[in-house]
Amino acid sequence: MNSIAAELNGTLEGTVADSLLSDLGRRMYFPKGIISQSAEAKKLAHRIDATIGIATEKGEPLYLKTIREALTGLTPKETFPYAPTAGIPPLREEWKKEIIKKNPSLAGKGMSLPVVVTGLTHAIAVVLDLFANPRDTLIVPDFFWDNYELIASDRLQAEVAGFPFFTPAGKLNVEGLADALRARRGGKAVIMLNFPNNPTGYTLTESEAERLVKAIRNEAEHNTRILVVCDDAYFGLFFEEGLKTESLFADLADLHPNVLAVKTDAATKEELVWGFRVGFVTYGSKGLDEKHYEALIQKTMGLIRSSISCSGTPSQYLVLKGLMDERHEVEKAATFKTVETRYRRVKELVRWMRGPLKPFPFNSGYFMTFRVPGDRAEDLRQALLKRGIGTIAIRPDCLRIAYSSVDAEKLDELFGCIDDEAVKLFGQGK
């Protein structure tokens, strides 16, 4: 094992992070090579810096005018050089401020500086690389984004074990999660929680959140080492009263020394820059201090360095400039309101449908999902395609609708066609 990795492991020794690390995570470190030496040169090489592999002239990067002219508002230094492995420092600092502003109960709690990654997918992949071994189990509700399985099962050879997301009464199945944790009592548990949920569009209520946090604390007190990954991809898109509008990360970051919380989020949906691929990984645990967070950051940087090297520079600066613009909050609120208006109309439309499709509870995010009779969601999807309408069959019995991508004036047509085809396939509903 590399001596730097061994040193980082020594720093984490005795913490929940140490007990959760995967074999790959244990081997991981950030090398004192080109990147770290170049960073040192930026501070000290005031005459000539011959460390980094880019082309410059008079201290400015060389660039093509045809590309430069397409990026108005950014300087050459904000556009063309490599970004630091963990992301540009002002964006990391600003995103941490944003996290605390959006989750005020985090104020005063310990947490790491966010590390920049290339989107939410990369955030989850990095975290699972760090903590999931082959044959480990990723605990998720049975409604989850299909990329979890690709990352955890197909890529890392871990298992994905679902528990029913909803109770028969249409509430969050907190007891299902508690049961899954009890089955691993005294060992290691890795949980992935996504609110607002993709594909259902459900966010847990305040009371459900309290019960869920209590269930996690209870198992931590029975010496279960628990990693909770909070997938906050759709954070902020909350459309009803009584919902948990802070990330669960805020409750879990100082819950118990046996709980390591990781917030994976992104500018992708929060800032409406899907193609920019700017995501973040942030750590929080009652048992960690600054030296532990720095060790985790160094290991995360090792994974980034050994895979993509760093995230894109222009995207990071564009996100930063957007966050710091005085118009930012007003514009963002107006855009989120557009999605909420669509949500309100969809709520009305599903009540009027004649067919047997049953909507799962939804109150937030981008999506809603129907239960389809007879495990024939694919048949319904194909019937809709013949009418020029695209939907997603996420399971044999479930059809997902991304109403976020449908103009408000087309929602009646969309849900009318879905209802018509459902009636043709299955008959009238009860």
The Cα 16–Cα 195 span in angstroms is 24
pLDDT 10s digit of each residue in the chain, 430 long? 888 899 999 999 999 999 999 898 898 888 776 666 677 667 876 665 655 666 566 777 766 676 677 788 889 999 999 999 999 999 999 999 999 999 999 999 999 999 999 999 999 999 999 999 998 999 999 999 988 988 998 889 899 998 999 999 999 999 999 999 999 999 999 999 999 999 999 999 999 999 999 999 999 999 999 999 999 999 999 999 999 999 999 999 999 999 999 999 999 989 988 888 999 999 999 989 999 999 999 999 999 999 999 999 999 999 999 999 888 888 889 888 999 999 999 999 999 998 899 999 999 999 999 999 999 999 999 999 998 999 999 899 999 999 998 889 999 999 999 999 999 999 876 5
Strand ranges across the sheet with 392-395? 358-359, 368-371, 398-401, 392-395
Rg (CA), the chain: 23
| CB-based contact 192:262 (threshold 8 Å) | no
| CB-based contact 192:140 (threshold 8 Å) | yes
Helix ranges (H only) for 103-204 are 119-131, 147-149, 174-182
Token pair of 161, please?
A: 């074990």
pLDDT for 30: 82
Contacts of 410 (CB under 8 A, 6+ apart): none
Kindly report the CATH number that applies to the domain delimited by 328-426.
Answer: 3.90.1150.10
Strand ranges across the sheet with 159-163? 115-117, 279-284, 259-266, 225-231, 188-194, 137-141, 159-163
Query: To 10 degrees, the CA torsion angle through 430, 387, 364, 117?
Result: 140
Among 3.40.50.10490, 3.40.640.10, 1.25.40.10, 3.40.30.10, what is the CATH number of 3-30+85-324? 3.40.640.10
Please enumerate, as own/partner, the contacts of 31-34 that have beta carbons within 8 Å and a separation of 24 or more. Answer: 31/2, 31/4, 31/302, 31/305, 32/4
- Delimit the domains of the chain by residue range: 3-30+85-324, 34-72, 328-426
pLDDT for 32: 72
Q: Give the residue from 262, 296, 255 showing the smallest Cα distance to 279.
A: 262
- The strand pair at 56-57 and 60-61 is best described as antiparallel
Q: Give the residue from 93, 17, 20, 21 showing the smallest Cα distance to 286.
A: 17
Token pair of 313, please?
A: 């520079």
Question: Which residues lie across from 189 on neighbouring strands?
Answer: 226
- The strand pair at 137-141 and 159-163 is best described as parallel
Can you say whether the dihedral through the CA atoms of 409, 410, 415, 417 is positive or negative?
positive
